[in-house]
């Protein structure tokens, strides 16, 4: 029910402004300005990047099955779907699940997989070395993670750390339901015991493989939320989470453009210097606006132009660029509209941000 619930939630929030593949790009965590902007604009940040192994072909099969089950129906436009009454009831049930509350994709995207790999190998290492078994085969085939665990082990005494790690895990799992805790523990590998595969977990807990993946992702985000919020209670586990650094650009090339903007070069000059098209520089600026809240957009779109664009969006109740452009004065460009959309929540009056 989780993957279907997420797709239904996405359709509901997108409200025909994007095709069904707009949701796919968010779930997959596509590294594009459009996908990140859509996640923010349509309040789908929690789903960003939560299913990076989801293939487009499999996603299409999920959509077809949802259509067969009467949860969605084809709209008049290609690749656009609307939610049926049955689908809305399904969505209400999904909103009541703990997994819906747990998932926090954009915050933990990229950090959650690393946290899990470190945790899996750390528990396997300390469990085996506690029993003086030095010949176990690591379940994690990632040299960076293996090097990290080796360094961690050198810096932390075996006996006391083993006990502390167990105590922290025991305390941490109390924030989950019994089923969630058992599911997570079944995935762990210890001394002479190998954790279950995702397929095995799906069978044991009567989940589809897609839902087993989402279930694990949601549980992981809940655990990480608890650790980050109470680091003093988890001195070992908190070290497994990569520190939240200042938000950075998706691409290095946008950062280079930003540096040239700081040096007061024009868009045309930057394009010439970098041998790029001006439209590419426009994309970089949208990216910068999304990720750097201190970046001012007023030199590209005046306050009066911002007011006009915002007014049109609110009147038309759409985020479709073409429709917005058709109702703006001719001098306002697509680039300026995209910039306003990048700062949409910030530009809206406080009382209108949650409408």
Residue 88's CATH number: 1.10.10.10
| Cα torsion angle, 199, 201, 203, 208, sign | negative
Is residue 135 located within the same domain as residue 225?
yes
CA distance 118 to 237: 10
Query: Is residue 29 located within the same domain as residue 91?
Result: yes
35/64 same-domain check? yes
Same domain, 322 and 303: yes
Query: Quick check: 98 and 92 in contact, CB under 8 A?
Result: no
Asked if the model's pLDDT at residue 16 lies above 80, the reply is yes
* Judgement on whether residues 216 and 258 belong to the same structural domain of the protein: no
The tens digit of pLDDT for each residue in 156-202 reads: 877 788 889 999 999 999 999 999 999 999 999 988 889 999 999 99
Quick check: is 129 in a domain? yes
List the one residue out of 29, 26, 33, 13 whose CA is nearest residue 341.
33
101 inside domain: no
pLDDT at 355 over 90: no
Res. 251: pLDDT tops 90: no
Instruction: Tell me the pLDDT band of 346, cut-offs 50, 70 and 90.
Output: confident
pLDDT above 70: residue 350: no
Question: How many domains is the chain built from?
Answer: 4
Say which residues have a Cβ less than 8 Å from residue 71's Cβ, sequence separation at least 6: 4, 8, 83, 84, 86, 87, 90
Q: Which residues pair with 81 in a beta bridge?
A: 74
The verdict on 303 and 291 lying in the same domain is no
Asked if residue 163 and residue 192 are part of one domain, the reply reads yes
pLDDT at 310: 92
Cα–Cα distance measured from residue 211 to residue 217, given in angstroms and rounded to the nearest whole number = 10
Query: Which pLDDT tens digit goes with each residue over 305-340?
Result: 999 999 999 898 888 888 999 999 999 999 999 999
Q: Which of 101, 81, 108, 37 is nearest to 250 (CA)?
A: 37
Task: Pick the last residue of a domain from 96, 126, 143.
Answer: 96
Range of the domain at 271: 246-295
Q: Judge if 120 and 230 occupy the same domain.
A: yes
Is 105 a member of any domain? no
Residues 201 and 236 in one domain: yes
pLDDT in tens, 100-156: 999 998 889 889 999 999 999 999 999 998 888 888 889 999 999 999 999 999 888
- Domain identity same for 183 and 286: no
Q: Does residue 103 lie within any of the structural domains?
A: no
Radius of gyration for the alpha carbons in the chain, expressed in angstroms and rounded: 24
pLDDT tens figures, 70-100 = 999 998 778 899 999 999 999 999 999 999 9
In a domain, 70, yes or no: yes
| Residue 102 located in a structural domain | no
pLDDT category, 349, cuts 50, 70, 90? low
Q: Indicate if 228 and 250 belong to the same structural domain.
A: no
Average pLDDT for 216-237: 94
């Amino acid at each position: 029910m989780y993957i279907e619930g997420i797709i239904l939630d996405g359709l509901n929030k997108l409200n025909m402004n994007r095709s069904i593949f707009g949701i796919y790009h968010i779930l997959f965590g596509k590294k594009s300005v459009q996908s990140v902007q859509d996640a923010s604009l349509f309040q789908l940040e929690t789903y960003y990047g939560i299913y990076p192994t989801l293939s487009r072909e499999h996603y299409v099969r999920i959509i077809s099955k949802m259509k067969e089950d009467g949860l969605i129906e084809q709209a008049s436009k290609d690749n656009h779907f609307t939610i049926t009454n049955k689908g809305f009831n399904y969505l209400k049930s999904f909103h009541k699940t703990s997994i819906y509350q747990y998932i926090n994709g954009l915050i933990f995207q990229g950090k959650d997989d690393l946290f899990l790999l470190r945790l899996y190998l750390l528990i396997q290492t300390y469990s085996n070395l506690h029993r003086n078994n030095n010949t176990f085969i690591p379940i994690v085939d990632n040299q960076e993670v293996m090097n990290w665990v080796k360094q961690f082990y050198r810096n932390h005494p075996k006996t006391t750390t083993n006990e502390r790690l167990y105590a922290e895990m025991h305390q941490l799992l109390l924030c989950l339901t019994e089923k969630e805790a058992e599911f997570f523990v079944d995935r762990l590998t210890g001394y002479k015991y190998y954790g279950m595969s995702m397929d095995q977990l799906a069978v044991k807990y009567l989940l589809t493989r897609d839902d087993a993946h989402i279930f694990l992702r949601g549980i992981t985000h809940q655990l990480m939320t608890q650790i980050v919020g109470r680091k003093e209670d988890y001195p070992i586990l908190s070290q497994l989470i990569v520190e939240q650094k200042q938000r950075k650009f998706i691409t290095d090339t946008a950062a280079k453009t930003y540096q040239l903007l700081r040096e007061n070069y024009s868009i045309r000059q930057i394009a010439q210097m970098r041998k790029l098209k001006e439209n590419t520089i426009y994309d970089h600026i949208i990216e910068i606006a999304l990720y750097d809240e201190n970046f001012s957009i007023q030199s590209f779109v005046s306050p009066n132009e911002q007011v006009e664009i915002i007014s049109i969006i609110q009147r038309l109740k759409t985020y479709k660029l073409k429709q917005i452009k058709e109702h703006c004065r001719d001098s306002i460009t697509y680039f300026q509209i995209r910039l306003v959309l990048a700062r949409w929540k910030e530009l809206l009056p406080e009382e209108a941000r949650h409408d």
